[in-house]
Amino acid sequence: MLGRSLASARVKIGVMFDLSGEPRELLADARALEAAGADSFWVAPEVDQLIVLAALGAVTWRPRLIAVGVSAGGALSALERLVTGRLLQADASGVDFTITVGDGEVERWERAQIPPSKTAWRELRAAREAEGVSGLVLRNDPRLLDLIRNPDVEDDRPDLKLAFG
C-alpha cells in the first residue's frame, strides 16, 4: 500500500445490490453512489451476479465491481473486458470477504448493517480501521447515500431545516 499500513487506511465502502426493487432505481442508485464516492459494487448471491454487475458497469465508470465465488468462464472473461479492469473476484468466509488486487495486495472486507445514527457510523468505521479492515459492504439503502456523502456531518439533514425556513 505504498507506505501506509492497513490500519491507517480509511475504510472503503462497498454497496451490495439485489433485485428486490425497481431495476431502473437500482441503476440510478448506482450512479448516485458512484458520485458520492462508493468504492465498489457487490451483488447479493441469490441473483445472477454477472448480469447485474454488467448492468452496473454499463452505467458507472469508477467503482470496482466485485463478483463473489463466481467460477471463471466465458461470461466472466467477457465482463472483464467490458468493464476494463474494474472486475475483481472475492472469496467469502462468514461475514468476511477477501479480494486480491492487481499488485498482490489482499483486502479484507466485512459485511455490516446500516448504523442507526451518524455517531454509530463514525464509531463503526473507526473500529474497523483500527482492526485493519479494508472495507465495509452494506446493503443498498436510502440512508446509505447520506452516510457516504456526509460521513462526519453531525446533523443528518440540514437541507430540511433550510427548506422549512
CA angle 134, 117, 129 (to 5 degrees): 20
pLDDT, averaged across the chain = 86
CA distance 98 to 92: 7
- Is residue 113 pLDDT above 50, yes or no? yes
140 neighbors 15 (Cβ within 8 angstroms): yes
Angle between helices 49-59 and 74-82 (to 10 degrees): 10
Task: Judge contact between 97 and 137, C-beta under 8 A.
Answer: yes
Burial class (CB in 10 A: 0-12, 13-18, 19+), 17: buried
Q: Residue 29 and residue 90: Cα distance in Å, rounded?
A: 23
- The average pLDDT across 105-119 equals 93
Strand residue runs (E) in 10-158 = 12-17, 40-43, 64-68, 87-93, 96-100, 106-111, 135-139
Pairwise CA distance, residues 146 & 57, whole Å: 22
pTM of the model: 0.84
Which is more confident, 124 or 160? 124
Fold of 6-149: Rossmann fold (3.40.50)
Q: What is the pLDDT of residues 148-161, one digit of tens each?
A: 998 777 655 555 55
pLDDT in tens, 28-78: 999 999 999 999 999 998 889 999 999 999 999 999 999 998 877 788 889
Q: At what angle do helices 49-59 and 23-36 cross, to 10 degrees?
A: 60
pLDDT tens for 130-140 read: 999 999 999 99
Longest dimension (CA), the chain: 57
Strands 40-43 and 64-68, by their bridges, are: parallel
